[in-house]
């Protein structure tokens, strides 16, 4: 008996300890464990981009997605956004790689200027290498089409866009793009001390580059940035080492800028903005404050109800609910769980489930009391019988939460995670914390008074 | 138990509500939010002075955006719903809202979803709903696998699903009706999340009652007590009645607090949940168990 009472006190103290941890890490601005708030609460921008993998070899898709993620991450970090999220989302895991759909998800907390955010990510340069288009009918056709279009524009009309018009008459695209770039460096020509950008390719890039230079000795290999030629060097010999120098008459600043853009921004695949979501900080803060306020009010209502209806066990349930809340908040901090408006709602909803376990136990205990058992036996028996219902009911909730998490968008995921976690923790807290407290205050002898304490407040 | 004795009345109430809801869904149609049909929402506020609705409407109409709808929001803001916007279009909308930069304006929120994403979300939502229902049927069939007399275990699963469908059709019907009157009452991702949470809740409630029936059947079997099935179900309902009502009440307290004082963005969500919770509590007491009795009567008559 004393064992249980001591254990109850330990649980209570542990509850206070966890609560103190939450409190102290909240008032300390340099705490390692702050609550991490989602964009809808802290304000920020959520962008989803569609990637275009049609030009990528299926074997390289995964690689180029990793590179894309790296590049965007570096670019976002460069602009000093705190805790950005950059993710690649893969759709159609059962399909062939080339039929899958890859999306880039970027979350920028604190950035509410979408224009800035989009240009920060979207304006990254696309580096391409192009070879001379051979003389022939095709080249002439394109030049002719361009001239005709030019004439139409000069006459004040708008020309019809044909596929010919969209092609470069002088250069042909090659497979070599910024995707194969390992790094770019700022160097200076030893003779002229002119700034140069030196490129180092990875293994595949080196091979491609060697092949291109070999086939184009004496010809121009143009280097394009975002569709504009920035350098048009003439190839003197095959280059096998995977190194190339661009000397395009840069000023040192221009060269430095280009090196930075190439290193941090050479996108392996083109991307297109699909959805945008921005929420202002004040609106987000309002949502967070409202959510917490509503949670507290809801809790007070539940506490009053539990006290009136279940008397002493009701009070114990409120205490164990308090410990449950402290545990959940600590978990949110430690895991950490990103809290969104939907996430907070899921959490508050799980309070309802936590109370349910207690109610099941108390109702069962009361039945046993009515059958003439003393309080301790009634509690043990009530627990044993309620356990099956609690288990089955909670498992079905957890199944729902898992499926929601599996299928959901980030919004639903937030809800599913806090809800599922809440159901799981509440089950544990009901069968350990509530049980221990109840047994700690129970008696083997029963008097009218203990019957009153454990009885129902209102008659149905 | 009065629930069993007057089961025809309670079953009819459910049938009427479901029929009305189905009617509402077909008559009013579903008011899909931008999550599902694509589109954009822009919310701005004016720190100094809000222009009149007419001024803003005129200014926006000149842009030629399709389906644009402007509403005042709060004391000092406007909410604009349009087709999904590209960045340039968004900039020109903001420009129009500030009447060509003559009024000071703050961008509070912007949300744009392309139609492709909307379609994807729709199919994803269906898959999620069916997977949850399917998983729950399997789970019930599993936990009731030892129960076969007088009603076999799969019939418990079947009845639970009837209750589940009841619980999600009613909130959907109510929202179809509300959506025809208020643009805010939309079927969006949060609405579907709420439906899925309702599935979890409702099955919870139903399982607790079924659990009690299972236990009482076992006690009868062990004690060689002959009792009519309807009596056993009635007894089980009486024993779980207080728990069902109390649990729903406490959850409803929390939901109502969230509805009245919670974040604006989750208002609809908590409303759907509240409706679903009430429907779910009703169905587990007044629909699922009486239905079990009806099935038992029907099959014993046939034999």
B131 CA: distance to closest CA in chain A (Å)? 7
pTM of the model: 0.73
Select the residue from A404, A406, A410 to test the B interface by mutation, using most B Cβ atoms within 10 A.
Answer: A404
Is there a single domain that holds both residue B245 and residue B129?
A: yes
Which of residues 95 through 134 in chain B touch A, CB cutoff 8 A?
106-114, 116-117, 120-121, 124, 127-128, 131-132
Is there a single domain that holds both residue B89 and residue B235?
A: no
Q: Closest Cα to residue A409, out of B135, B121, B131?
A: B121
Contacts of B112 in chain A (CB under 8 A): 275-277
Q: From B113, B144, B165, give the residue that closes a domain.
A: B113
- The whole-number pLDDT of residue A452 equals 67
Q: From B113, B145, B174, give the residue that closes a domain.
A: B113
Helices (H), A29-106: 39-42, 61-78
Q: Is the pLDDT of residue A156 over 80?
A: no
Q: For the residues A325-349, what does the mean pLDDT come to?
A: 84
A392 in B contact zone (CB under 8 Å): yes
Is there a single domain that holds both residue B144 and residue B249?
A: yes
- The whole-number pLDDT of residue A78 equals 60
Q: Do B114 and A306 touch (CB under 8 A)?
A: no
Select the residue from A345, A346, A350, A361 to test the B interface by mutation, using most B Cβ atoms within 10 A.
Answer: A345
A408 in B contact zone (CB under 8 Å): yes
Q: Do A297 and B257 touch (CB under 8 A)?
A: yes
Q: From B113, B136, B152, give the residue that closes a domain.
A: B113
Reported confidence tier of residue A120, pLDDT bands at 50, 70, 90: low
Q: Do A278 and B253 touch (CB under 8 A)?
A: no
Q: Do B107 and A278 touch (CB under 8 A)?
A: yes
Q: For the residues B136-147, what does the mean pLDDT come to?
A: 81
B125 CA: distance to closest CA in chain A (Å)? 8
Render pLDDT for B222-247 as a digit per residue (tens, 0 to 9).
888 888 888 999 999 988 888 888 88
Q: Is the pLDDT of residue A118 over 80?
A: no
Beta-strand pair A221-225/A36-37: unpaired
The domain tally of chain B equals 2
Is there a single domain that holds both residue B168 and residue B283?
A: yes
Is there a single domain that holds both residue B222 and residue B251?
A: yes
Chain A residue whose CA is closest to B121: A409
Is there a single domain that holds both residue B100 and residue B145?
A: no
Q: Do B109 and A298 touch (CB under 8 A)?
A: no
Is there a single domain that holds both residue B207 and residue B260?
A: yes
Q: For the residues B40-67, what does the mean pLDDT come to?
A: 82
Q: Do B128 and A404 touch (CB under 8 A)?
A: yes
Residues of chain B with pLDDT > 90, as a percent, come to 18
Residue from the list B139, B250, B262 with its beta carbon closest to the beta carbon of A399: B139
Contacts of B199 in chain A (CB under 8 A): 400
Q: For the residues B255-281, what does the mean pLDDT come to?
A: 88
Q: Closest Cα to residue B210, out of B134, B157, B149?
A: B157
A48 in B contact zone (CB under 8 Å): yes
Alpha carbon distance A268, A176 (integer Å): 11
Q: Is the pLDDT of residue A432 over 60?
A: yes
Burial A267-299 (b: 16+ CB within 10 A, else e): bbbebebbbbbbbbeebbebbbebbeebbebbb
CATH number, residue B21:
1.20.1640.10
CB atoms within 10 A of CB B64: 7
Is there a single domain that holds both residue B130 and residue B84?
A: no
- Among A69-83, A405-419, B269-283, name the most confident range: B269-283
- The whole-number pLDDT of residue A204 equals 83
Q: Do A393 and B204 touch (CB under 8 A)?
A: yes
Is there a single domain that holds both residue B84 and residue B179?
A: no
Burial A17-48 (b: 16+ CB within 10 A, else e): ebbebbeebeeeeeeebebbbbbbbbbbbbbb
Helices (H), chain B: 2-5, 7-28, 34-37, 53-61, 87-97, 115-143, 153-181, 189-222, 229-261, 267-282, 289-302
The two structure tokens encoding residue B75? 């004391």
Chain A residue whose CA is closest to B260: A294
ipTM of the complex: 0.79
Long-range pairs, B293-301, Cβ under 8 A, ≥24: B293/B4, B293/B7, B293/B229, B293/B230, B293/B233, B294/B7, B294/B11, B295/B151, B295/B155, B295/B159, B296/B150, B296/B151, B296/B229, B296/B230, B297/B230, B299/B150, B299/B151, B300/B150
Is there a single domain that holds both residue B63 and residue B164?
A: no
Render pLDDT for B115-134 as a digit per residue (tens, 0 to 9).
777 787 788 878 888 888 88
Which of residues 245 through 274 in chain A touch B, CB cutoff 8 A?
273-274
B136 CA: distance to closest CA in chain A (Å)? 7
Q: Are B276 and B194 in contact (CB under 8 A)?
A: yes
Domain that holds residue B92: 39-113
CATH number, residue B43:
3.30.70.3400
Q: Is the pLDDT of residue A80 over 60?
A: yes
Is there a single domain that holds both residue B131 and residue B143?
A: yes
């Amino acid at each position: 008996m004393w064992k249980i009472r001591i254990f109850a006190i330990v649980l209570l103290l542990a509850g206070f300890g966890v609560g103190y941890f939450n409190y102290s890490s909240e008032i300390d601005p340099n705490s390692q464990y702050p609550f991490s708030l989602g964009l809808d609460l802290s304000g920020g921008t959520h962008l989803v981009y569609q990637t275009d993998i049609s030009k990528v070899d299926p074997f390289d898709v995964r690689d180029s997605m990793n590179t894309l993620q790296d590049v965007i991450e570096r670019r976002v970090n460069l602009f000093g956004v705190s805790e950005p999220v950059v993710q690649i989302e893969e759709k159609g895991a059962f399909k062939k790689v080339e039929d899958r759909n890859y999306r880039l998800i970027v979350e920028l907390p604190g950035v509410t200027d979408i224009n800035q955010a989009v240009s920060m990510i979207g304006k990254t340069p696309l580096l391409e290498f192009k070879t001379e288009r051979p003389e022939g009918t095709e080249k002439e056709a394109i030049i002719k089409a361009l001239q005709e279009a030019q004439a139409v524009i000069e006459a004040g009309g708008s020309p019809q866009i044909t596929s010919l018009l969209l092609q470069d008459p002088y250069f042909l695209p090659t497979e070599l793009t910024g995707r194969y770039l390992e790094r770019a460096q700022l160097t200076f020509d030893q003779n002229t001390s002119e700034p140069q950008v030196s490129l180092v390719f990875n293994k595949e890039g080196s091979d491609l580059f060697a092949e291109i230079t070999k086939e184009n000795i004496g010809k121009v290999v143009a280097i394009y940035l975002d569709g504009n030629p920035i350098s048009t060097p003439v190839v003197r010999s095959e280059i096998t080492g995977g190194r190339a120098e661009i000397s395009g008459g840069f000023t040192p600043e221009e060269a430095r800028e280009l090196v930075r853009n190439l290193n941090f921004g050479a996108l392996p695949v083109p991307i297109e903005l699909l959805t945008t979501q921005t929420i202002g900080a004040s609106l987000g803060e309002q949502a967070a404050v409202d959510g917490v306020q509503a949670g507290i009010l809801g809790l007070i209502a539940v506490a009053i109800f539990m006290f009136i209806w279940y008397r002493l066990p009701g009070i114990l349930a409120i205490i164990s609910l308090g410990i449950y809340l402290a545990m959940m908040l600590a978990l949110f901090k430690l895991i950490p769980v990103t809290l969104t408006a939907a996430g907070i709602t899921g959490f508050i909803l799980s309070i309802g489930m936590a109370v349910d376990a207690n109610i099941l136990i108390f109702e069962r205990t009361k039945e046993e009391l009515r059958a003439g058992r003393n309080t301790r036996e009634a509690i043990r028996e009530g627990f044993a019988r309620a356990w099956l219902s609690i288990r089955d009911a909670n498992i079905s909730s957890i199944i729902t939460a898992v499926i929601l998490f599996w299928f959901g968008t980030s919004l639903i995921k937030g809800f599913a995670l806090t809800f599922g976690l809440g159901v799981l923790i509440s089950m544990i807290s009901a069968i350990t914390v509530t049980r221990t407290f109840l047994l700690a205050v129970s008696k083997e002898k029963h008097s009218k008074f203990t019957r009153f304490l454990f009885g129902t407040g209102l008659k149905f | 138990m009065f629930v069993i004795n007057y089961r025809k009345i309670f079953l009819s109430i459910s049938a009427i509500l479901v029929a009305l809801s189905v009617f509402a869904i077909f008559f009013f149609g579903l008011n899909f939010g931008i999550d599902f049909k694509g589109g954009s929402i822009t919310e701005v506020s004016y720190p100094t002075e809000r222009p009149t609705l007419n001024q803003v409407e005129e200014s926006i109409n000149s842009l030629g955006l399709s389906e644009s709808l402007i509403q005042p929001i709060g004391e000092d803001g406007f909410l604009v719903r349009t087709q999904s916007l590209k960045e340039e279009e968004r900039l020109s909308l903001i420009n129009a809202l500030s009447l060509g930069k003559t009024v000071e304006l703050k961008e509070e929120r912007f949300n744009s979803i392309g139609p492709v994403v909307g379609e994807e979300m729709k199919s994803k939502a269906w898959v999620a709903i069916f997977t949850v229902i399917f998983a729950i049927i399997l789970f019930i069939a599993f936990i009731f696998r030892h129960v076969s007399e007088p009603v076999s275990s799969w019939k418990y699963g079947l009845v639970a699903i009837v209750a589940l469908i009841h619980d999600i059709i009613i909130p959907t019907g109510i929202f179809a009706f509300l959506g025809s009157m208020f643009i805010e009452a939309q079927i969006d991702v949060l609405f579907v999340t709420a439906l899925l949470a309702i599935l979890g809740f409702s099955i919870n409630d139903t399982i607790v009652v079924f659990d009690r029936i299972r236990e009482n059947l076992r006690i009868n079997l062990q004690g060689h007590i002959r009792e009519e099935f309807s009596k056993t179900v009635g007894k089980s309902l009486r024993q779980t009645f207080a728990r069902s009502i109390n649990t729903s009440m406490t959850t409803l307290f929390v939901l109502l607090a969230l509805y009245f004082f919670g974040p604006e963005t989750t208002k609809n969500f908590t409303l759907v949940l509240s409706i679903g919770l009430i429907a779910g509590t009703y169905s587990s007491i007044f629909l699922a168990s009486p239905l079990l009795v009806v099935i038992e009567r029907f099959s014993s008559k046939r034999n």
